[in-house]
């Protein structure tokens, strides 16, 4: 490429085709697995979160693959810029929901927030971040020939990323605090006599830390760290600007965006929230009897637990 052509290359480099194809394949495989796992475990909340994030990553990396043939094609650059900055946002929503359900299973009295409020507060922040980044991405990607508008779009995206980073930092603090309070048995509030269920309607008698629950918590924590690293990288990238050295260094993008999100996706393939929630519900099922006159039975699903006290047998 001649020096006269360089200004038309908005990447500042030519994306490596083999790397792009590898990421397309990895994201496609993970997304297919997540779709199957979510459907099999009936964890429907994962479809509009992790699965949507995976599809977005595939679209974004397909656009980068197109750019590997000709990095001056504007439409491919616009698509990958807009999509890849937004793609992990639905994934983050799954982490928020997942931890809320963990807290409901293990004891909401140790949490600063109720399980429902994890979804309400952090999903609201996630949606706000999504809309801001989307608006900024549209402005920036469509104004590549206007430096002032491109910088405006970049700053708007930066604002959305900062909101996401703040919400993830707060979320991480709440997770760490919850783990500490449960480990030393220092609840925020007095639990009811039998506890609390995910539905919030009937009590729960036992909250065991099973192997499956430990795996679920590990999966959420690992994925949170990986997405957090990616978010920090993206904030630094947008502070530096579209024409900065960071944005024009391909290996940084491949490692701190592509690889981080890929690892987060596969982490939850191996430590799948739906399957592990289903397993913990099964492991904790029990029957208690009192001289054969009264029994407590529990019916469980992957995401909802209810309890029934049947009438005494005469």
DSSP character at residue 303:
S
What's the token pair of residue 95? 């982490």
Interval 224-237: pLDDT, tens: 999 999 999 999 99
Radius of gyration, alpha carbons of the chain: 23
CA distances, 283 to each of 9, 204, 211 (Å): 56, 14, 10
pLDDT reading at 38 higher than 70: yes
Measuring CA to CA, which residue among 120, 185, 129 is closest to residue 158?
129
pTM metric for this prediction = 0.81
User: Is a pLDDT exceeding 90 seen at residue 17?
Assistant: yes
Digit-coded pLDDT (tens) for 269-305: 999 998 887 776 655 443 322 333 333 334 444 444 4
Q: Could you give the strand order of the β-sheet that contains 287-290, starting from the edge strand earlier in sequence?
A: 287-290, 294-300, 305-308
């Amino acid at each position: 490429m001649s020096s006269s052509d360089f200004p038309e290359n908005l990447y500042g480099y030519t994306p490596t085709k083999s790397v792009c194809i590898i990421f397309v394949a990895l994201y496609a495989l993970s997304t297919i697995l997540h779709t199957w796992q979510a459907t099999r475990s009936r964890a429907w909340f994962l479809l509009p979160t992790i699965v949507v994030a995976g599809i977005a990553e595939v679209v974004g990396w397909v656009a980068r693959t197109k750019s590997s043939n000709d990095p001056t094609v504007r439409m491919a650059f616009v698509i990958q810029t807009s999509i890849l900055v937004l793609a992990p946002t639905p994934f983050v929503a799954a982490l928020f929901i997942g931890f809320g359900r963990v807290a409901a299973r293990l004891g909401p009295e140790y949490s600063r927030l109720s399980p429902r409020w994890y979804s309400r507060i952090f999903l609201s922040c996630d949606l706000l971040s999504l809309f801001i980044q989307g608006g900024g991405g549209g402005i920036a990607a469509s104004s590549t020939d206007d430096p002032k508008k491109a910088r405006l779009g970049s700053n708007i995206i930066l604002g959305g990323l900062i909101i996401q980073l703040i919400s993830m930092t707060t979320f991480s603090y709440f997770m760490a605090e919850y783990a500490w309070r449960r480990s030393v048995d220092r609840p925020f509030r007095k639990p009811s006599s039998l506890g609390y269920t995910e539905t919030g309607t009937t009590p729960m008698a036992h909250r065991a830390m099973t192997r499956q629950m430990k795996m679920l918590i590990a999966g959420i924590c690992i994925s949170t760290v990986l997405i957090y690293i990616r978010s920090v990288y993206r904030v630094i990238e947008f502070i530096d600007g579209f024409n900065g050295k960071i944005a024009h260094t391909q290996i940084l993008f491949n490692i701190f965006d592509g690889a981080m999100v890929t690892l987060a996706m596969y982490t939850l393939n191996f430590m799948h929230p739906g399957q592990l929630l289903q397993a913990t519900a099964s492991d904790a099922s029990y029957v208690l009897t009192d001289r054969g006159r009264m029994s407590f039975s529990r019916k469980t699903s992957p995401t909802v637990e209810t309890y029934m006290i049947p009438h005494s047998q005469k």
